[in-house]
């Protein structure tokens, strides 16, 4: 193993190591470009032929990744994509960035990790590095992925290297790119850690080694649970402040002036994205194996999951105050992406809000400049396309519900032409005219 380690470290330092990235989505595509920019030859794997075609043409399918960034690396011969897993034999390292959703019973769905492992295992060779980046419960790398990769006789830590390094992508964040975000790495053995840390260190500014794959897996969960619990706290306080006739945002802004001991979190219509609404439940599921009830995590999940219904309830209150009923009212949902200025709809609370509005008899429509049509998901199937954002269109609605506060939206125009605006994001804070039409939620 010492000789294999020395050879692989040498190839990494010389930028001669070939890197594979499985899953070219919101994590895999920017990770591929990061390694390509650092001078490595990168081969991406995906089961979606449309992504393979776009990469081959030097194009992008993600709003926050410009086509020029992809073209620069494909034209230089440093980045290509395929669906042929037999090509994994060509690689020195394979980084796995596949989804880890929940089942309808809110239990971990590791089918993408299992499928990837089974696709890679027949082509795994001695001296390769495999790193899992997909968020999961502590033990996934060792208990789930490792046995699959070892089916053909190779052993992790002896014949090949195995590690876990959690993704930390934040789509649309202009302040942090993949190369700038510190990379936590845990190895199956010390040699596995050494090789994985060297690979990431060659492309990413800072590497944070931890003692094991489990510690690295737990690190990612802690990061997201921290956010989930604190967001649940301010969501609960938002509901209380509404009852007490106070503005929760004013209170948070005032508290944030304290120079120590306080970090502001802000309420909203519910949690979205692939991390915060899902990852905490991976740990609550695993905790049952150890006969421990993770009550903070589960309570936070309950509060955050209830926020779409709270927004709809507040919409009903606002309609009632204006002599309107849900049934038959035309309601415009503003924004269906899970957060501002991106096109990512994963776990967006807007989908649940649309569903609840329809259940109450409203005629719903939506506008989102980044989501021209709502794709079918495991749970939702809406036959809706984004309507124009024009004065003539806006005047046809009884109410608008702001779910996602995209910065390109003219909120004054919205308030000027819709008689009732329910704002769950403080998007209308700078609106000057017709403020009596705004109802916070």
Q: Quick check: is 244 in a domain?
A: no
Q: Quick check: is 150 in a domain?
A: yes
Q: Which of 97, 192, 241, 275 is catalytic?
A: 275
Sequence-distant (6+) residues with CB within 8 A of 244 are: none
The verdict on 319 and 207 lying in the same domain is no
* In the block, residue with structure tokens 């081969």: 43
CA dist 149 and 132 (Å) reads 12
Domain limit, last residue, from 211, 244, 277: 211
Q: Quick check: is 127 in a domain?
A: yes
The verdict on 195 and 319 lying in the same domain is no
What is the DSSP track for 32-97? HHHHHHTT-EEEEE-S-HHHHHHHHTT--SSTTS-HHHHHHHHHTTSEEEES-GGGGGG-SEEEE-
Q: Quick check: is 167 in a domain?
A: yes
The verdict on 194 and 51 lying in the same domain is yes
Structurally, how many domains does the chain consist of?
Answer: 2
Domain limit, last residue, from 162, 180, 211: 211
The verdict on 28 and 150 lying in the same domain is yes
CA dist 201 and 19 (Å) reads 14
Task: Tell me whether residue 275 is one of the annotated catalytic residues.
Answer: yes
The verdict on 186 and 314 lying in the same domain is no
Q: Quick check: is 82 in a domain?
A: yes
Give pLDDT, residue 3.
83
Give pLDDT, residue 218.
97
Give pLDDT, residue 429.
94
Q: Quick check: is 349 in a domain?
A: yes
Give pLDDT, residue 169.
85
The verdict on 29 and 178 lying in the same domain is yes
The verdict on 17 and 147 lying in the same domain is yes
Q: For residue 131, what is the domain's CATH number?
A: 3.40.50.720
**Which residue blocks in 210-294 are alpha helix, DSSP H?**
213-243, 248-255, 279-287
**Which residue blocks in 76-212 are alpha helix, DSSP H?**
111-120, 146-149, 190-201
The verdict on 29 and 169 lying in the same domain is yes
Look up the domain containing 150 and give its range.
2-211
Please tell me the pTM assigned to this model: 0.92
Residue 2: burial class (beta carbons within 10 Å; 0-12, 13-18, 19+): exposed
Sequence-distant (6+) residues with CB within 8 A of 57 are: none
Among 138, 88, 96, which residue's Cα sits nearest to residue 115?
96
The verdict on 175 and 33 lying in the same domain is yes
Q: Quick check: is 436 in a domain?
A: yes
| Structure tokens belonging to residue 63 | 């709003």
Give pLDDT, residue 54.
95
Domain limit, last residue, from 211, 237, 267: 211
3-state helix, strand, coil in the chain (%, to 5): 40, 15, 45
The verdict on 320 and 188 lying in the same domain is no
| Structure tokens belonging to residue 151 | 């089916």
Sequence-distant (6+) residues with CB within 8 A of 335 are: 350, 366, 367, 368, 402, 403, 404, 405, 406, 409
User: What is the chain's pLDDT, residue by residue, as a tens digit (441 residues)?
Assistant: 778 898 999 999 999 999 999 999 999 999 999 999 999 999 999 999 999 999 999 999 998 899 999 999 999 999 999 999 999 999 999 999 999 998 888 889 999 999 999 999 999 999 999 999 999 999 999 999 999 999 999 999 999 999 999 999 888 777 888 999 999 999 999 999 999 999 999 999 999 999 999 999 999 999 999 999 999 999 999 999 999 999 999 999 999 999 999 999 999 999 888 788 888 888 999 999 999 989 999 999 999 999 999 999 999 999 999 999 999 999 999 999 999 999 999 899 999 999 999 999 999 999 999 999 998 887 888 989 999 999 999 999 999 999 999 999 999 999 999 999 999 999 999 999 999 999 999
The verdict on 19 and 134 lying in the same domain is yes
Q: Quick check: is 311 in a domain?
A: yes
Give pLDDT, residue 357.
97
The verdict on 78 and 185 lying in the same domain is yes
């Amino acid at each position: 193993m010492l000789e294999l380690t020395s050879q692989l470290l040498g190839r990494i330092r010389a930028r001669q190591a070939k890197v594979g990235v499985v899953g070219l989505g919101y994590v895999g595509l920017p990770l591929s470009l990061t390694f390509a920019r650092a001078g490595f030859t990168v081969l991406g794997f995906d089961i979606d032929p449309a992504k393979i075609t776009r990469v081959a043409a030097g194009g992008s399918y993600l709003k926050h990744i410009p086509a020029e960034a992809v073209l620069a690396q494909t034209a230089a011969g440093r980045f290509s994509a395929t669906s042929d897993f037999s090509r994994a034999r060509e690689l020195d390292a394979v980084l796995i960035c596949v989804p880890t959703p929940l089942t309808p019973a809110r239990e971990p769905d590791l089918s993408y990790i299992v499928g990837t492992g089974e696709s890679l295992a027949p082509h795994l060779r001695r001296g390769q590095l495999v790193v899992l980046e997909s968020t999961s419960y502590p033990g996934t790398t060792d208990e789930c992925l490792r046995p699959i990769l070892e089916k053909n006789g190779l052993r992790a830590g002896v014949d090949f290297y195995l590690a876990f390094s959690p993704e930390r992508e934040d789509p649309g964040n202009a302040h942090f790119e993949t190369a700038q975000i510190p990379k936590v790495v845990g190895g199956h053995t010390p040699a596995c850690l050494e090789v994985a840390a060297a690979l990431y260190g060659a492309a990413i500014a800072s590497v944070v080694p931890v003692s094991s794959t489990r510690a690295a897996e737990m690190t990612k969960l802690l990061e997201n649970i921290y956010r989930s619990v604190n967001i649940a706290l301010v969501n609960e306080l938002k509901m209380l402040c509404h009852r007490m006739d106070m503005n929760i945002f004013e209170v948070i802004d005032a508290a944030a002036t304290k120079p120590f001991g306080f970090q502001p979190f802000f309420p909203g219509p519910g949690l979205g994205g692939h991390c915060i609404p899902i990852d905490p439940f991976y740990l609550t599921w695993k905790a049952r194996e150890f006969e421990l009830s993770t009550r903070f995590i589960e309570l936070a999940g309950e509060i955050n999951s209830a926020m779409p219904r709270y927004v709809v309830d507040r919409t009903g209150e606002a309609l009632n105050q204006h002599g309107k009923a849900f049934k038959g009212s035309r309601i415009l949902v503003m924004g269906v992406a899970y957060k501002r200025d991106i096109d990512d709809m994963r776990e967006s609370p807007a989908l649940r809000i649309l569903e609840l509005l329809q259940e109450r008899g409203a005629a719903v429509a939506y506008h989102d400049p980044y989501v021209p049509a709502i794709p079918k998901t495991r749970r939702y199937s809406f036959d809706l396309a984004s309507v124009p954002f024009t004065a003539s269109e806006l005047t046809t609605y009884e109410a608008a519900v702001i779910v996602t506060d995209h910065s390109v939206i003219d909120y004054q125009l919205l308030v000027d032409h819709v008689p009732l605006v329910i704002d769950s994001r403080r998007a209308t804070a700078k609106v000057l005219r017709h403020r009596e039409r705004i109802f916070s939620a």
